[in-house]
Amino acid sequence: MAIRIAVIGVGKIARDQHLPAIAANPAYELVATVSRHDPELSVPWFADLDDLLASGITVDAVALCTPPQVRYGLAVKALQHKLHVFLEKPPGATLAEVESLRAMADEAGVTLFASWHSRYAAGVEPARAWLAGRSIRDVRIIWREDVRVWHPGQAWIWQAGGLGVFDPGINALSIATHILPRPFFLTEATLEMPSNCQAPIAADLSFTDSAGTPIHMDLDFRQTGPQSWDIIIQTDDGELKLAKGGSVLTLPEGVREDEDREYPELYARFAALVAGGQSDVDIAPLRHVADAFLRGHMRAVEPFIE
């Protein structure tokens, strides 16, 4: 029987990615949406989760596509009703929230999935396989994009808990924590904070691992022209480059580029977790962001005006 799923928060990411992925996967049946405004779809719409839960519609799972600041309360309600929960990235506004949800899901006997869509980009798994057993000398992460293009009118991203430039930057961290063979940790960071915002517009971070490998990360929301979502790794056997957010992999032997399957793969993974009675809650990318706020030097910059 198909997983009867409701999408909570029908904004850009839900329309662009979640709804098409659900529609294309026979493991799911979309039975409802919850959003502040009627998305005018062919399923019942509710203004809040309580109304959906009281409606009598049978729901097995929810996909939470809201801003992270309000996600915890919604997830708690869903777990209390023994619903499986799919969390859009980042999985929460704090590490403690996510750990609390993990414990609740375990107690309720349902699946909790902290999704990291960039890990499912076409080049990521081949990159991980190629790096295994190789000696890494240097890692550079360059994640620069125009916030006005990719996050227009999204005031929540500049509020406390919205992560600012780490909202896309955490995608790079989700890839790096997956493909690099050793855990790494922050040594220093500078976060550039617009004077009218509570989250950074740019960040420069340095990490290392137990072998002393230098890992540098450059994040910026002010990029115009060509956008940069690149991870460049120098090894004893040559250079590996993941470009376009992980979809294009360049190795010494050539270039590999495949179609975007990130969200279809995420929903396939969620269905497998539900079928197997398992959860997948990796908080490593969010931990690195939290460390940046803990240890980073905050530098005030000009106000951000959209």
Report d(CA 247, CA 105) in Å as an integer. 32
Structure tokens at 81: 């009703």
Active-site choice (12, 77, 89, 241): 89
Residue 282, helix vs strand vs coil: coil
Q: Decide if 241 is catalytic.
A: no
Report d(CA 74, CA 25) in Å as an integer. 25
Report d(CA 170, CA 116) in Å as an integer. 9
Residue with tokens 């590999």: 256
268 membership: H or E segment, kind and range? helix 262-276
Neighbours of 102 (CB within 10 A): 16
Structure tokens at 61: 């799972």
Active-site residues, by number, are 89
